[in-house]
Amino acid sequence: MATSDWYPFSEGFSFTSQLLGILGKLNLLFLTLLVLCPQLVLAQWNATIGAQSDDLGRQALAFLPNEIWIHTGESITWTMAANEGHTVTFLTSGQIRPPFTAECPGFSAPSASFDGSACVTSGLLFQGDKFTVVFPVAGNFKLVCLVHEGMTGTIHVLDPSQPLPHDQAFYDHEAQRESADFLEAELAGVMNHQHHSENSAIAGHGETIATGGGSDSLSVMRFSDPGITVHAGDTIEWTNDDPTTTHTITFGPEPQDLVNPSSNVTVDADGARHAVLNSPLDAVHSGFIQAAPLDRTGLAQVPSGVTRFRVTFSKPGIYPYICSLHDVLGMKGSVIVLP
Ligand SMILES: [Cu+2]
């Protein structure tokens, strides 16, 4: 019994050494192929989403860079660099853009591969979050953020026989340069309200910039005069000067429904929303204050946006308020009402 036990062992030993020999040859063959055809190495590309100032007030709503050339079968990993939430989303051609809460029907995040046939989205990402998408087929694919209109990019997926124009170092440099440009840009009209009447404030300012791959925006998520002082009976007018970003002016607790104004808001003849506060304990919510979307041929006409909110203060006191969407970024203010 003892001898018969030895044979299977030595047969197994010989089989293992043969297998190791074959694997070694395959390894050598693979390395040789890599030297001859370096494009066999599937690159893993990296990009950044968003950039922000130290006080979080300036937010670059941008894929950095927003145009990347890769080969079929390769993947891109996006890393979030901002506190403002974004999504990495590829819709199919002709698909109606869904709200970010709806995401892509039937899509589950771990299998993020986009060939143009089915919608792929990351869900809402915050600082430090990552999302990787593999691109198995050639094509030019539009990248969007479902939260921010006008935050778009393009991924050019080429056949491996085609040369790629840039390497990862180029994209890293582009991303750094673009985010620095955004955060240092002097924005025309920011925090100065010459074109507004007295007792007025800007509730957010933004600019959209086009690139060859799509568009990026810079949003200043601040109230222009966070400590405005008026007298009892005065009215303050807030205007949202941002082409794409929505803000609110909210006194008192945040309501459940952020989209619509609270029931104590009326509409002035010029379309601006208006409320009267009689005590610092009163609550009022402007609802979404935002510009109308850009016009596009072939789409139904939409009305002008509601970009203004007015509040009349009848009694002295200190009235703190927030933007209910961006208070976490520090978008807060207060009105000091003197007798
Ligand atoms: Cu806001």
> What mean pLDDT comes out for the span 170-174?
95
Is the confidence at residue 26, as pLDDT, over 60?
no
Ligand 1 center from residue 142 Cα (angstroms): 27
The CA distance from 98 to 104, in Å, is 8
Q: Compute the distance from residue 206 Cα to the ligand 1 centre, in Å.
A: 11
Give 179 Cα–ligand 1 centroid separation in angstroms: 21
Q: Which residue has the tokens 């969007």?
A: 144
**Position 294 pLDDT exceeds 80:** yes
- Among 7-11, 143-147, 206-210, 245-249, whose mean pLDDT is lowest? 7-11
253 to each of 169, 258, 280, 321, 325, how far by Cα in Å? 47, 11, 12, 9, 13
For residue 232, report the distance from its CA to the centre of ligand 1, in Å: 26
Mean of all residue pLDDT scores within the chain: 87
Residue type, 146: L
For residue 243, the CA-to-ligand 1 centroid distance in Å is 13
- The answer to whether 269 and 234 have CB atoms below 8 angstroms apart is no
pLDDT of residue 4: 40
Which of the four pLDDT bands, split at 50, 70 and 90, describes residue 8? very low
Ligand 1: distance of its center to the CA of 274 in Å? 18
Q: Are strands 317-322 and 214-223 parallel, antiparallel or unpaired?
A: unpaired
Measure 118 CA to ligand 1 centroid, in angstroms: 33
- How much distance in Å is there from the Cα of 205 to the middle of ligand 1? 10
The least confident of 33-42, 79-88, 271-280 is: 33-42
Report the sign of the C-alpha dihedral through residues 156, 161, 167, 168, in that order: positive
CA 185 to ligand 1 center in whole angstroms? 20
Whole-number Å distance, alpha carbon 66 to ligand 1 midpoint, is: 24
pLDDT of residue 3: 40
Q: Which among 208, 65, 68 is positioned nearest to 149, based on CA atoms?
A: 208
Q: Identify the three-state secondary structure at position 2.
A: helix
* Residue among 225, 217, 213, 280 at smallest CA distance from 246: 217
Ligand 1 centroid, distance to 104 Cα (angstroms) = 26
* 296 pLDDT tier (thresholds 50, 70, 90): confident
How remote is the CA of residue 42 from the centroid of ligand 1, in Å? 41
Q: How remote is the CA of residue 85 from the centroid of ligand 1, in Å?
A: 13
Dmax over Cα atoms in the chain, in whole Å?
A: 108
pLDDT in tens, 177-201: 988 888 887 655 555 544 456 789 9
The alpha carbon of 62 and the centre of ligand 1 are apart by a number of angstroms equal to: 17
202 CA → ligand 1 middle, Å: 11
**pLDDT band at 173; cut points 50, 70, 90:** very high
Q: What is the CA(331)–ligand 1 centre distance, in A?
A: 6
| Helix intervals (H) in the chain | 2-36, 168-184
- CA of 322 from ligand 1 middle (Å) equals 8
Confidence band of 37 (pLDDT split at 50, 70, 90): low
For residue 240, report the distance from its CA to the centre of ligand 1, in Å: 9
What residues have CB less than 8 Å from 44, skipping those under 6 apart?
Answer: 74, 75, 77
